[in-house]
Structure 1
Amino acid sequence: MALQLKIIGILLIVLSAIHVVFPRYFNWKEEFHQVSLINRQMMYIHTFFIAFVVLLMGLLCLTSSDELTGTSLGKKVALGLSVFWSFRLLFQFFGYSSRLWKGKWFETSVHVLFSILWVYLSVVFGVVYLY
């Protein structure tokens, strides 16, 4: 399982880095032009902290895989991460409208890819907790 956690660590670090392109890719400057200053700043700040937490999760997996798999506290952290990513998986299907991706090749591919990633994260962290 330590190898799986190291793979997850790399994936999470890459995922955190992807957040850097969100403002430009999703055209936030134009999209948020009419939004109040507080809402605009909350979006940028929350995105930063989501990316930061995902980065920290990745670093934890890369640097502390033995502790996650071999200690009581590590297993509890793994359980928490399994629950976190399981909820993220649910939101992939019930939080976002299928109109955002259905019938669009790229968006559907991204939806499927991230659905698989959320399942992978949920299962690996769940297995770490159980064994």
Structure 2
Amino acid sequence: MDTPELLVRLGGAHSLGFALFHLAFWKLFDWKRDLARNSAANRAIMQILNLRLIYVFLGIGAACFVFTDELLRTPLGNAILAFMALFWVGRTIEQFVFLRVHHPLVHALTALFVLGALLFAIPLLSP
């Protein structure tokens, strides 16, 4: 396995890891109690968005393992890799705009966002 293939598969593992992380949101952030303070619409929106994000992470993660060659060697595959790299770049920027919390775990999370951007972008630079 060459480096670009390894990076795409690591990107898949990264995506699957974030799917698992997002599955834990209900417990981690005590959403049953915490979201109860929001309106019914906002409570539903938060949970629906989280479920859709889990779906995207699972799909991208699976694609990285099942369609590694296609992601690396086709225009559509390259577009998906670029889409995910930009997803993580955007998420990193949003971290600084919306989550202005100075905490080691928040900084570690930011580093994982940067890692995601690199895992999906670097394979695009390979010949």
Give the Cα–Cα distance (whole angstroms) in 1 for the partners of residues 50 and 94 of structure 2.
Answer: 16
Q: What value does the CA root-mean-square deviation take over the aligned residues?
A: 1.6
Contact 2:10 2:119 in 1 (8 A): no
Q: Is the 8 A contact 1:11 1:58 kept in 2?
A: yes
* TM-score, length of structure 2 as denominator length: 0.86
1:117 to 2:112 alignment: yes
Q: Is residue 44 from structure 1 mapped to residue 52 from structure 2 by the alignment?
A: no
Q: 2:82 aligns with which of 72, 79, 85?
A: 79
Output the CA distance in 2 between the equivalents of 1:113 and 1:76. 28
Matched residue pairs, number?
123
Task: Choose the corresponding residue for 1:14, options 13, 17, 33.
Answer: 17
The TM-score with structure 1 as length reference comes to: 0.83
With CA pairs under 8 Å and 6+ residues apart, which has the higher RCO, 1 or 2?
A: 2
4+ aligned runs moved over 4 Å, structure 1? none
Conserved 8 A contact 1:12-1:58: yes
List runs of 5+ in structure 2 lacking aligned partners: none
- Structure 1 residues without counterparts, runs of 5 or longer: none
Would you say the 8 A contact 2:12–2:60 is kept in 1?
yes
